[in-house]
Amino acid sequence: MACGPGDLQSLTSPFSSARVGTPLYFEERWFQTCGHTNIACKMVKGKLVEVGKWPWQVSILFLGMYICSGSLIHHQWVLTAAHCLQRSKDPKMYSVRVGVQSLPDNGTQLLLTRIVIHEDFHNLISQDIALLKLRDPISWSPLIQPVCLPNNRFKLSVGTMCWVIGWGHKSTGVTPKTPYSLQEVAVKIINSETCHQQYQFLFLKDQKKFIGDDMLCVSSEWGMDSCQDNSGSSLVCQVNNSWIQMGVVSWSRSCNQHRFPGIYTSTSHFTHWIKRQITDMRFISRAGPAFLSPVTLTGYILLVSLGSLWLL
């Protein structure tokens, strides 16, 4: 969708769960379900831009500077990658911005009270998942909404097309836009055994399995890939008109080397871990409508740099 004359504050995208032409801020459907969007055109610095396509996406700041992405999965919790939080474990050093379309952007800045990093995250590769607790519960709006999160039984078949959402540029050798704009890249779920074979050169001696059950492998489509500045971004798949976060951007062999799949943290693998941290969390168990109270559902994936590895 491209915004043009006459599109200002109208919901016109096929991604939208609201009616075409519905004025922005006049619907209350975002209080009922997770994984729905309310796309509109908005005037920003004299230009019409598309907003609300990925309303769960947040930017994570360290001492006021952008470091990673995250996603809203609950009215008081953000999902991201564990490797994003290596600078400090002090929640007072971090904040998140919600309702942001590009960086830098004011948006709404929220403070944190707690950081929860998976207890088995040690090698910067596996168990790459973390949660951030907001100091104050968030108020949902058309531009700030949660994504759905699958439970441990929710699986997607190999070949399923999904999207990776994040800021920053998509491959090396490309000068990033300033400001960075929120972008999406089409990807496809691939077989974990295929992924295992392609990353076999990284195996340690006597290690039988490098790509664990806590990871998802995806290949990029149309010669594009997620790259730097996208750590903690969400891998989302549309099922029955709802967006479900199946992964969090974690790492890859290197940017823009398309023969190497991207590795994502599998959100369905960590259902029980998330439930221990967020007791009122609910999850999608099948491909059907997901109705919520103020509670929501979500998932993630991440990336960073470790020698020739990029943890995005």
Instruction: Determine whether 258 is an active site residue.
Output: no
Q: What is 149-268's CATH topology?
A: Thrombin, subunit H (2.40.10)
128 is catalytic: yes
**Active-site residue (options: 231, 233, 234, 266):** 231
Query: For 116-144, how does the pLDDT look when each residue is reduced to its tens digit (9 = 90+)?
Result: 999 999 877 789 999 999 999 998 988 89
Domain 40-134, CATH 1.10.10.10 — does that match? no
pLDDT at res. 206: 56
Structure tokens at 7: 């599109």
Residue 136 bears catalytic tag: no
Poorest-pLDDT segment among 5-14, 145-154, 288-297: 288-297
Decide whether 40-134 matches 149-268 in CATH topology.
Answer: yes
Question: One of 36, 74, 75, 83 is an active-site residue; which one?
Answer: 83
Tens of pLDDT along 160-184?
Answer: 999 998 875 544 444 444 446 788 8
Integer Cα distance of 43 and 302 in angstroms: 31
Catalytic residue of the set 7, 128, 214, 229? 128
Which tokens hold the place of 167?
Answer: 């800021």
Distance, in Å, from the CA atom of 224 to the CA atom of 24, rounded to the nearest integer, reads 32
Question: Per-domain residue ranges for the chain?
Answer: 40-134, 149-268
